[in-house]
Structure 1
């Protein structure tokens, strides 16, 4: 059974409650200021736990940010999977619109995570997950070799989508999610991966 750094079982109700409190505290704090401006002490105070309790569960604020956003990131990755699919199998423009609407729903959080003072680990995590989703959806490949040309296409699509999303968030979501979908889809559709 997995344990926390303090030795408590990871599935323990108290551990889950502490994780939830720390994650909610961080999400609340990120709505008001950049991730780089948030300290472990800030999170601990907001969650009403000690700093040592924080360190029993997470190395730093960036690790907490990744954990706090996992569910939301998984939802975004699922949307990207639909975006990369064939138009015959779904509605990629509708999926893109939902992708941007989901970002807008938590704009402060994503702006902080993906912005210039954000978390390189979270950005890399998102980019890698989108790359894997794009490969799986477009080629059917769960894994590839290092020299597979489809890696380049999938990484390009992932980097482009993360870059456009970050820029849009930094511009205070100047376009609506529908407008972003309409502006982005023609570009992404030109980057479709070939079927393996």
Structure 2
């Protein structure tokens, strides 16, 4: 272990993961995920098949890791969705979100579709809900006062649902059009959900 840094083994693992995920992402640009084999990924990454299996069970598990990693980065650009002008333009953030999905549409379509990955879908919903709640309240998604924040979960689920439907329809609208179509709905859901609740009459 070098002074002030992670063990050399950890660095090698991270480099291998990055190489395999990068290889898969490049392959997905040219073909559907279902058409990509372990051999294809290993060859593109410059590693052996046995090295692949040292880290992932199959291409689908690798795709899940690559997808969640990209989503984690993408959530960072969604900070404007709270509607605060100091954090940026929500339309621009949504356009960036949809453009990123479109760039790797084959990967996301496979993992978010009917036969996709429940783990990836749940990961996206949780990360977006956590980011949305933190923007609007300054608190993390899970607090003792509110372990299940319904508005944040609702908005995150709605955005994932719209994005999934758009991908399954071959991205019929441009990312810019999707941002313009989606923001008024998300904004209304977000701000209406935080309005004072009307108590039912006894």
Preserved contact between residue 68 and residue 124 of structure 2 (Cα < 8 Å): no
The yes-or-no answer on 1:55 pairing with 2:39 is: no
Q: What is the distance in 1 between the residues matched to 2:23 and 2:132?
A: 32
TM-score by length of 1: 0.79
Deviates more, 1:39-48 or 1:84-93: 39-48
Residue of structure 2 in register with 1:111 after alignment: 109
What SS does the aligned partner of 2:149 have?
helix
Preserved contact between residue 127 and residue 162 of structure 1 (Cα < 8 Å): yes
Once the two structures are superposed, the pairs formed by residues 160-171 of structure 1 within 5 Å of their partners are 160-171=158-169
Q: Structure 1 pair 117/38, CA: closer, same or farther in 2 (3 Å)?
A: farther
Once the two structures are superposed, the pairs formed by residues 56-95 of structure 1 within 5 Å of their partners are 56-87=54-85, 89-95=87-93
Deviations 1:33-58 (A, max 9, x none): 54455454443344343332112222
Q: State the 1:77 CA deviation.
A: 0.4
Deviations 1:67-87 (A, max 9, x none): 323552133201222213424
Q: Structure 1 pair 64/190, CA: closer, same or farther in 2 (3 Å)?
A: same
Structure 2 gaps of 5+ residues are 2-7, 196-202
Residue of structure 2 in register with 1:21 after alignment: 19
Q: What is the distance in 1 between the residues matched to 2:152 and 2:117?
A: 22
Q: What is the distance in 1 between the residues matched to 2:10 and 2:61?
A: 16
Does 1 or 2 have the higher relative contact order (CA < 8 Å, sep 6+)?
A: 1
Runs of 4+ residues deviating >6 angstroms: none
Q: What is the distance in 2 between the residues matched to 1:42 and 1:89?
A: 42
Residue of structure 1 in register with 2:10 after alignment: 10
- Report how many aligned residue pairs link the two structures: 188
Residue of structure 1 in register with 2:200 after alignment: none
Residue of structure 2 in register with 1:151 after alignment: 149
Residue of structure 2 in register with 1:4 after alignment: none
Preserved contact between residue 65 and residue 122 of structure 1 (Cα < 8 Å): no
Q: Which has the larger radius of gyration?
A: 2
Q: What is the distance in 2 between the residues matched to 1:118 and 1:45?
A: 25
Q: Structure 1 pair 123/157, CA: closer, same or farther in 2 (3 Å)?
A: same
Preserved contact between residue 135 and residue 150 of structure 1 (Cα < 8 Å): no
Once the two structures are superposed, the pairs formed by residues 112-191 of structure 1 within 5 Å of their partners are 112-145=110-143, 148=146, 151-191=149-189
TM-score by length of 2: 0.77
RMSD: 2.9
